[in-house]
A and B are shown apart, each in its own frame.
Chain A
Amino acid sequence: MSSTTTTPADLGAVHTNGQELNYLNNGHGLKSWLLTKDHKRIAILYLLSVSFFFIVGGIFALLIRINLLIPTGVFSPDTYNRLFTAHGVIMVFLFLVPAVPAILGNFLLPIMIGAKDLAFPKINLLSWYLYVVAGIILSIAIFAGGIDTGWTFYTPYSTSYSNSNVLLAGLGVFVAGFSSILTGINFIVTVHTMRAPGMTWFRLPLFVWAHYATALVMMLATPVLAITVSLMAIERVTHVGIFDPAMGGDPVLFQHMFWFYSHPAVYIMVLPAMGVVSELITNLSHKNLFGYKFVVLSTLAIAIFGFLVWGHHLFVSTQSVYLGIAFSILSYAVAIPSAIKVFNWTATLYKGSISYDTPMLYGLGFIGLFLIGGMTGLFVAALGLDVHIHDTYFVVAHFHYVMVGGSLLAFLGGIHLWWGKMTGRQYPEYWARAAMIIQFAGFNLTFFPQFILGYLGMPRRYDSYPPEFQLLHVLSTAGASILGLGLGITIFYLIWSLKNGKRALANPWGAPGLEWRTSSPPPTENFLETPIVTWEAYEFAPIESMEVLGYPGDPGKPTQPVSADHGTED
């Protein structure tokens, strides 16, 4: 990284203390971060704030598990209601929805398409501030009295009976929704208008496609949540019935409107994760992704089908049986594009030269756990069976397999894959593998017993249970502790690596994407020269031919592996 003479001066590639100027050292001090318009810095801001709320939500999860250690419950039922609501609200609105798009998507999407920034940098910063405001509002709601409605805010309990902070929580959800709408618009417009010359639609990395589809869902579904919580708040304030049957309203309308957002929201959480997994699997098996166009189309199909299945949450809510049948069939239909993805990932692995580094471990973990989560999704989509397992721990286990086993593992895998790109330092491979295996084991021990519990009839959201369920609950709590330990190790060594990790090279994985053709960490405007794309997506070339752009005095700039265990032989 020595050549500065040929780089344009306005891009700022000058040496300061022998170090190349990148987005991290281009400007110092709190103000340069809080007023930044650089999508990479905003991604780091998101990383910090989202991680904070993830830890808070995780602590609430552990408290829930502690309560369920003994059949009578440790805390009072009222406290328990507030605990699981806090866990749900924080994890859904402050972690899962923004995690992959706002951190990894924000950081990588412009780089992957060869743009200098997102289309609307100021709006990008605004959406982070809105996220923080939402986080503060929800924290006040949770810590100053709590919310006891569950994260679903079902009426009429939330509008007429609950004496907890429902209004504040609704406001927080509204603001968080605004933040995610703005992110969605930014992504869509960026992909449409900011692609580098030669970056055609079918050369876009699947990560970008996944975020495109996610952005569509964010924009079309989130406003409905906003108006739903607004109407809920209006009913609570004015005592005029919209949803409360005692005042002439219809609670099922609330459920329709709520799930019209919240089911697509599941795809907001899992589609970007699928995009990450596509990258993990391809880049670490060093092989073109099998059936690129099919994966693209399945991504879009999931986004579209996602809007047509909300009614499967209402099978026992007096919804018409015929409607139930239609929703059941449509929910089965979602399995098709999801299965296409799993098959394509598996086929990509076939005859690939796989390196079992941490990102790949997370990718493989995702495939397995998402498979279980998805298949049990078919159980709950079955109209008859759902009457038995509706609102039981079976459902809890199902969506945790998709949300934790799916989204969280993919998020962590993505963080590891791009950690060197984001921070300039590599994570310690040995510890990372160990942590991943601990998390995987802990996760399965936590949630597999819950399938059995649910099938035996343990209802969700209950603070106490018959003594014969205790063994399974204790197993689950033990698993949660192991999972917590694994996550703690990851957080610890990631922070440790900021100072002590090996310096990351531009392309430690021998991967073909545009983000690997710029330095680690990238300069403020991402590339020193506008990239011109002449290759197809995932076109794996001999490693010498993948040069880092913008260093004409430094031809080739071979991107060797950081160490042997990050290596690739082909």
Chain B
Amino acid sequence: MGPRINYELRITKKTLIALSTQHSALSTQHSALTSALKKVATIETETAPERVEIHAEHHPNLAHHFESMEQQREAGTLGMWWFLLTEIMFFGGMFLAYTVYRHMYFSAFAAGSDVLSIWWGTFNTAVLIGSSLTMALAVFHAQTGNSKKTTLFLLLTIFLGLVFLRVKYIEYSDKFAEHVFPAGAYEWPPHEAPAGPHNVGDLFLMLTGLEASHPAGITQQGMPVKVTTNYAESGPYYGVGGSIPEQIGNPSFGAHVRMFFLLYFAMTGFHALHMIIGIGILFVLAWQAWRKKFSREYHSYIELTGLYWHFVDIVWIFLFALLYLVDRHP
């Protein structure tokens, strides 16, 4: 036993010595390599043309913790995209609630949707898509360094945003007048049928407030005719069961329509809040663009606001389809 252990020890010692020689050689090599690598990296950093140039320039809008304008812009864009992702999750919660209850109480949701004005909805959709166009043009002109046109298109975007909010205001006040919402004075069916423009002339008059009262001829008492006629023979639906006319007498039917309106107000309300914030930002940007703050090199705030604005538009497209068009398919 003894000698064998000694033998093993000898081997280990030998190996150790060999290893340590090897190790020291390797570590010398390693440190040489490391310093060489460092040199290369330093040279690369120093000779990278755009970096040197930008450093020399020191753009006044470059924050101290960024190395280059490009890095700053990339960070901003990435941040906005992630922010929009959180917004999707935020609206997603309401879309989930909507989906669940639309599935459970389809007929009540269809009846509620029928009270909304398809005219106003369509008009507003067009307005918002138009504002997306003007926003995109503002971004384009910012990228090409045209301050005047940037300002112009930012102001146009603001105008279209305000038109959208004006229409929303009319729609909301109609709903309040009809006692569809809020809940305290809620009655179903509503006292008056939904108001809405029926031709371009109505649209203009109502937008400008010249014609405050509803166009004659569409005011009717009780349940909107369309609901009763369209759904009378349609058979049973999910939820409380039975066809629409039966359900109208059902007390929970009113509660479910009310839920539709609650979701309508929550979803369009949060959307309108985003519009208001967006318009506020656009005002600041328009002012800055007019003062020639932006240039070909520095315009990322306009791009980022553009991303936000387009996102808000897309949310509306979904809201329009889900809230206004529920009963539009057979």
Complex Cα distance A193/B87, Å?
Answer: 22
Assess whether B97 is interfacial by the CB under 8 Å rule. Answer: yes
A525 to B183, CA, bound (A): 56
CA distance A205 to B51 in the complex (A): 27
User: Which residues from 160 to 206 on chain A have a C-beta closer than 8 Å to any C-beta of chain B?
Assistant: 181, 184-186, 188-190, 192-194, 197-198
Q: How far is the CB of A217 from chain B (nearest CB, A)?
A: 11
Q: Which of A184, A188, A532 contacts B45 (CB 8 A)?
A: A532
Given A240-B183, A240-B258, A257-B96, A193 and B41 contact (CB-CB distance below 8 Å): no
Give the distance in Å from the alpha carbon of A220 to the alpha carbon of B88 in the complex: 9
Q: How far is the CA of A297 from the CA of B87 in the complex (A)?
A: 27
Stretch of A224-232, A390-398, A425-433 at the chain-chain interface: A224-232
Contact A185 B82 (CB under 8 A): yes
Q: Decide if A226 touches B255 in the complex (CB within 8 Å).
A: no
Looking at the complex, which one of A220, A231, A253 makes contact with B85 (CB distance below 8 Å)? A220
B83: Cβ under 8 A from any A Cβ: yes
The complex places the Cα of A284 from the Cα of B303 at a distance, in Å, of 47
Residue of B nearest to A10 (CB): B64
The answer to whether A241 touches B65 (Cβ under 8 A) is no
Alpha-carbon gap, A118 to B261, bound state (A): 43
Distance to closest chain B CB from A227 (angstroms): 3
The proximity string for B residues 17-59 relative to A, scoring 1 for CB distances below 8 Å and 0 otherwise, is: 0000000000100010010011001101100000000000000
Q: Does B215 contact A (CB under 8 A)?
A: no
Supposing A219-B85, A532-B38, A534-B34 touch, asked if A189 and B90 sit within 8 A by C-beta, the answer is no
> Are A247 and B255 in contact, CB atoms less than 8 angstroms apart?
yes
**A149 interface residue per 8 A CB criterion:** no
Q: Does A3 contact B (CB under 8 A)?
A: no
- B256 partner residues in chain A, CB cutoff 8 A: 248
Nearest B residue to A254, CB-CB: B97
Closest Cβ of chain B to A34, distance in Å, is 20
Residue B222 at the A interface, CB < 8 A? Answer: no
Complex-state Cα separation, A115 to B101, whole angstroms: 48
A532: B residues at CB distance < 8 A: 38, 41-42, 45
Asked if B232 is an interface residue, CB under 8 A from chain A, the answer is no
A224 with B82: in contact, given A231-B97, A238-B182 (CB under 8 Å)? no
Contacting pair A197 B41 (CB below 8 A): yes
Q: Is the CB of A193 within 8 A of B74?
A: yes
Interface centre among A115, A116, A219, A227 (most CB of B within 10 A): A227
- Asked whether any CB of chain B lies closer than 8 Å to the CB of A120, the reply is yes
- B324 located at the interface, meaning its Cβ lies under 8 Å from any Cβ of chain A in the complex: no
Contacts of B74 in A (CB 8 A): 193
- A interface majority secondary structure: helix
Could you mark each residue 521-563 of chain A with 1 if its beta carbon is under 8 Å from any beta carbon of chain B, else 0? 0000100001010110000001001000000000000000000
**A242 interface contact, C-beta 8 A:** yes
Minimum C-beta distance from B48 to chain A (A): 10
- Measured CB to CB, the nearest residue on chain A to B100 is A253
B41 in contact with A188 (CB, 8 Å): no
**Chain B residue with Cβ nearest A235:** B262
Give the docked Cα–Cα distance between A548 and B262 (Å). 61
Contact indicator B96/A193 (Cβ below 8 Å)? no
B256-287 with Cβ < 8 A to chain A? 256, 258-259, 261-263, 266, 270
Q: Considering residues B74, B90, B186, which has the most beta carbons from chain A within 10 angstroms of its beta carbon? A: B90
Please report the C-alpha to C-alpha distance between residue A121 and residue B183 in the assembled complex, in whole angstroms: 44
Contact present for A185 and B79 (CB under 8 Å): yes
Do A224 and B97 touch across chains, with their CB atoms under 8 A apart?
no
Q: Which residues of B contact A530 (CB under 8 A)?
A: 45, 67
What distance in Å separates the Cβ of B123 from its nearest Cβ neighbour in chain A?
A: 27
Q: Across the interface, do A241 and B94 meet the contact criterion of CB distance under 8 Å?
A: no
* Residue in chain B with minimal CB distance to A229: B93
Residue from A119, A249, A534 within 8 A of B38 (CB atoms) = A534
Q: Given that A193-B74, A248-B255, A249-B259 are known contacts, is A223 also in contact with B90, CB under 8 Å in the complex?
A: yes
B1: Cβ under 8 A from any A Cβ:
no
Are A194 and B93 touching (Cβ within 8 A)? no
The reply on B86 being an interface residue by CB < 8 A is yes
Which residue in chain B gives the minimum CB-CB distance to A247?
Answer: B255
Residues of A contacting B262 with CB < 8 Å?
234-235, 238, 240, 242
Task: Digitize B52-78: 1 where CB-to-A-CB distance is under 8 Å, 0 elsewhere.
Answer: 000000000001111100010011001
* A189 with B79: CB separation less than 8 A: yes
Contact of A189 among B75, B182, B258 (CB under 8 A): B75
From known contacts A121-B65, A189-B82, A219-B86, infer whether A230 and B259 are also in contact, taking CB-CB under 8 Å. no
Cβ contacts under 8 Å, A542 to chain B = 27
Specify which chain B residues have a CB less than 8 angstroms from the CB of A194 in the assembled complex: 65-66, 71, 75
B255-A188 in contact (CB<8A): no
Evaluate contact between B93 and A189: CB separation under 8 angstroms.
no
Check if A242 sits within 8 Å of B97, measured CB to CB. yes
B122 contacts chain A at the CB level, 8 A cutoff: no
Which residues of A are found within 8 Å of B34, using beta-carbon distances? 534-535
Question: Which A residues touch B263, using CB under 8 A?
Answer: 242
Task: Identify which of A193, A219, A250 contacts B71 (C-beta below 8 A).
Answer: A193
The one of B82, B258, B266 that contacts A230, using a Cβ cutoff of 8 Å: B266
Q: Nearest A residue to B67 by beta-carbon distance?
A: A530
- In the complex, the answer to whether A241 meets B259 with C-beta atoms within 8 Å is yes
Asked whether A253 lies within 8 Å of B79 as measured between CB atoms, the reply is: no
B89 at the interface (CB under 8 A from A): yes
- Alpha-carbon gap, A119 to B90, bound state (A): 24
Report the bound CA distance from A253 to B252 in whole Å: 19
Contact, CB under 8 Å: A525 / B266: no
- Chain B residues positioned under 8 Å from A193 (CB to CB): 71, 74-75, 78
- How many Å from the CB of B303 to the closest CB on chain A? 15
Q: How many Å from the CB of B70 to the closest CB on chain A? A: 10
A117 at the binding interface (Cβ < 8 Å): yes
B252 and A248 contacting across the interface, CB-CB below 8 Å: yes
Does B92 reach chain A (CB closer than 8 Å)?
Answer: yes
8 Å CB interface, A96-126 against B: 115-121
- Distance to closest chain A CB from B22 (angstroms): 16
Interchain CB contact (< 8 A) of A240 among B44, B64, B259: B259
**Contact yes or no, A181 B78, CB < 8 A:** no
Q: Is B105 an interface residue when CB atoms closer than 8 A count as contact?
A: yes
Say which residue of A118, A223, A228, A240 sits within 8 Å of B86 (CB atoms): A223
The yes or no answer to A388 lying at the interface (CB within 8 A) is: no
- Taking a contact as CB atoms under 8 Å apart, the answer to whether A241 and B255 are in contact is yes
Q: Are A224 and B93 in contact (CB under 8 A)?
A: yes
A239 is an interface residue with CB less than 8 A from chain B: yes
Closest to B240 in A: A248
A119 near B75: Cβ-Cβ < 8 Å? yes
CA distance A21 to B281 in the complex (A): 39
Do the beta carbons of A227 and B94 come within 8 Å of each other? yes
Contacts of A242 in B (CB 8 A): 97, 101, 259, 262-263
Going nearest first, the 3 A-B pairs with the smallest beta carbon separation are A227-B93, A223-B90, A117-B65
Task: List chain A positions with a Cβ less than 8 A from chain B.
Answer: 115-121, 181, 184-186, 188-190, 192-194, 197-198, 219-224, 226-228, 230-231, 234-235, 238-242, 247-250, 253, 257, 525, 530, 532, 534-535, 542, 545
Chain B residues with CB under 8 Å of chain A are 27, 31, 34, 37-38, 41-42, 44-45, 63-67, 71, 74-75, 78-79, 82-83, 85-87, 89-94, 96-97, 100-101, 104-105, 181-184, 186, 252, 255-256, 258-259, 261-263, 266, 270
Q: Can you list 28 A-B contacts (CB < 8 A)? A: A117-B64, A119-B65, A119-B75, A181-B86, A184-B82, A186-B79, A189-B75, A189-B79, A189-B82, A219-B82, A220-B86, A223-B90, A227-B94, A228-B93, A230-B266, A234-B262, A235-B262, A238-B181, A240-B183, A241-B255, A247-B255, A248-B105, A248-B255, A248-B256, A248-B259, A257-B97, A532-B45, A534-B37
